[in-house]
Structure 1
């Protein structure tokens, strides 16, 4: 009955919706666990008598962990499967978040948050690969893009819950703040129970019978391996294989565009009040501006999610870098402008960069075949976080040494690099099956 219907063209069913929640919950938790340290930092710095060195190390620890976690998670997901690694990230979040409650030094916090970063690094290749390998092509882009929105939702929740706990007046409130992600982690572990392995990964390991059973369970008894547009064969792939198998150019594209899209965002998002004050927004203007910018990042991602299947991946990336870069250029040129002008330019950047933000998860998952997909996503996540860590670390130094105007020009320069790379080699994968999108044709 369904001999000619590809699983890439089926309508969404209950399994797809549940898988979206299972994978999306990981991004909510990622946004929460990475942002919660900023809420607790002032109180914990005083309580633990932390030096500025350890404050900086604790703030950067998770980003360092993501670098290693992305590499490791990508390689292990390719060899051990998606399902087994699906529980590693949430388990690390639960254990280390609870352990932070008893941390008695900056070094201890650095260690636990470094491990949390490794867990976040695992989520990128594991949850993303599992979601994309089940999702029909029509919904693949929007569902992957949705994960970015959920990250910001988790970050917003961290500020709401964290500040509520701090306002309780308990002397150990910061400890409760740092332990709070464990609650979300336990819920995520529970809802991920029962998730099946990816049939595409099983076929890549020669386990056709298992793949067939899962296809029938997910799509119905009339579906079989014949309904899969791609039937990968067993193949061992190393990191060097990835770079020399003809996908090196795509890996370069992913690493560069991902880095160029996160470096200014992490810097702006982490230091929004400081940057706004340097742009002469004081008092209520600075507080209001920080809230508005955070909201507009979410708005930009939502708009991009709605448009991703309308204007296509390549066009969205080019326009995102172009218009967000012009907004940063305007901030550099008018760094002494009025409060309204500065907020308008900052807001324009937050909205327009949404396209590049949501494509961070779409492109890497679409451009590589099953055998190397998780390794490529993990590598992209790792390399982009190196840039993010450096960019975040440089912002206060740059503001002091060359001023806010030139700092904005530097951010615009990073965005320009992303635009040039997008113009030169960004492919279009809209409306393609996963096999077609990953093919080197």
Structure 2
């Protein structure tokens, strides 16, 4: 097998036969590149879940106002916005591999440094840095999986990234519930513990190759051929992909709003925002919301149940993406979530078992449908602007989710749980309408046909 590290190695070795994309089997590297991308999703879910638990202790300890609670709860989402938009553009211009390897240095260092904070300002700065690192990875991870994995496996492997977000979130719930009452400073350990998975990911990513499709876009065909031969069993038809390449010039951000791409960009912004605003707002402040709905005094028993439904929904969602398709799953899920959350909103007027069941169904469907958040964005754009497009949609979604997470504790305090939940129902209705009008079906398109 050709190896670039061997002096005099030939870069032009070609396989005997290039398989059509639909015949390309899944190999160990496809699973490896997907597994290496799990890191950002786990870290994001863990960090977001941990801050919700930590704030229940930190708010009275530091005398935080509801304004500061909202700022700290949404701070990481703002960082994700910056990291996604900036690093997505950098990845399209300078390559995927470098950013993919370096962003977890920021996440690991900033996570560990949270142990030493003594006030909300420094915690805010560190949460922003963690968000920037996660945002960079959100732009790069789905892009790399899309550009390495065969079409028929793409949806399932991309969807699995969101399952890892759910695993991270659920892990934070149980770890936080155990740690938070051990000592007055246990919240420090809770926040700093996010450095452990970040360091593991950082080490495992050493040696990750560049995307061969990006190299083809840049005219570096021999390097792309080497990577295809070494990691993909020579499955890429380098000459055919090169012949279909529109331009080797870097895409500009305004190209994401060109006539050909505009519909996909508009749909992506509506779809992503309408999914993550209710998700992040509700599950960041779940320990606060559950007692207000009367489920139990401290929200623990209901929290355990809902977290289990989150995990179950994420796993079932992988099957749904493959069997139902992107467009119908998007439409049906928005409708079901809007109806069930409306029932939850009037929780004090319904028998408690009805409210619990409705919240469980909402949680299950939300988790299943959220797998699409890693699938759709990467499938809406061609290779030359994929990382920038994914970064734009991730960034735009974080504006909405940060606003929702910032506003929710204020609305809960000022208007109550019913009005707050109904506002989120309105967001889901907008999502359903935009999906009916704009959602494409991308499940059967090859990577070269996307966008």
TM-score w.r.t. structure 1 length?
0.92
**Partners of 1:23 and 1:127 within 8 A in 2:** yes
**Structure 2 Cα separation of the partners of residues 12 and 384 of structure 1:** 31
Residue 172 of structure 1 deviates from its aligned partner by 3.8
**Partners of 2:408 and 2:420 within 8 A in 1:** yes
Query: Is residue 2:327 matched to residue 1:314?
Result: yes
Q: Residue 215 of structure 2 corresponds to which residue in structure 1?
A: 202
**Partners of 1:279 and 1:336 within 8 A in 2:** no
**Structure 2 Cα separation of the partners of residues 414 and 376 of structure 1:** 23
**Partners of 2:50 and 2:173 within 8 A in 1:** yes
1:168 to 1:277, Cα distance in 2 relative to 1, 3 A: closer
**Structure 2 Cα separation of the partners of residues 181 and 290 of structure 1:** 21
**Partners of 1:7 and 1:228 within 8 A in 2:** no
Query: Is residue 2:16 matched to residue 1:20?
Result: no
Query: Is residue 2:82 matched to residue 1:68?
Result: yes
Query: Is residue 2:20 matched to residue 1:6?
Result: yes
Q: Residue 184 of structure 1 corresponds to which residue in structure 2?
A: 197
**Structure 2 Cα separation of the partners of residues 397 and 165 of structure 1:** 27
Q: Structure 1, residues 401-427: CA drift from partner, whole Å, max 9, x if none?
A: 444333333222211111111111111
1:264 to 1:51, Cα distance in 2 relative to 1, 3 A: closer
Query: Is residue 2:213 matched to residue 1:213?
Result: no
Q: Structure 1, residues 244-266: CA drift from partner, whole Å, max 9, x if none?
A: 25211110100001101111112
Q: Residue 6 of structure 2 corresponds to which residue in structure 1?
A: none
**Structure 1 Cα separation of the partners of residues 88 and 160 of structure 2:** 21
The 3-state SS of whatever aligns with 1:86 is helix
Q: 415-424 vs 321-330, which deviates more?
A: 321-330
Q: Residue 11 of structure 2 corresponds to which residue in structure 1?
A: none
Residue 395 of structure 1: which of 402, 408, 411 is its match? 408
1:368 to 1:230, Cα distance in 2 relative to 1, 3 A: farther
1:354 to 1:212, Cα distance in 2 relative to 1, 3 A: same
1:404 to 1:115, Cα distance in 2 relative to 1, 3 A: same
1:342 to 1:316, Cα distance in 2 relative to 1, 3 A: same
Q: Residue 289 of structure 1 corresponds to which residue in structure 2?
A: 302
**Structure 2 Cα separation of the partners of residues 276 and 168 of structure 1:** 23
Q: 251-260 vs 70-79, which deviates more?
A: 70-79
**Partners of 1:229 and 1:435 within 8 A in 2:** no
**Structure 1 Cα separation of the partners of residues 421 and 47 of structure 2:** 28
**Structure 1 Cα separation of the partners of residues 393 and 384 of structure 2:** 16
Q: Residue 162 of structure 2 corresponds to which residue in structure 1?
A: 148
Q: 320-329 vs 214-223, which deviates more?
A: 214-223
1:343 to 1:47, Cα distance in 2 relative to 1, 3 A: closer
1:416 to 1:77, Cα distance in 2 relative to 1, 3 A: same
Query: Is residue 2:252 matched to residue 1:238?
Result: yes
1:223 to 1:239, Cα distance in 2 relative to 1, 3 A: closer
Residue 108 of structure 2: which of 94, 107, 112 is its match? 94
**Partners of 1:71 and 1:382 within 8 A in 2:** yes
1:8 to 1:76, Cα distance in 2 relative to 1, 3 A: farther
CA RMSD of aligned residues (A): 2.3
**Partners of 1:102 and 1:175 within 8 A in 2:** yes
**Structure 1 Cα separation of the partners of residues 309 and 92 of structure 2:** 36
TM-score w.r.t. structure 2 length?
0.90
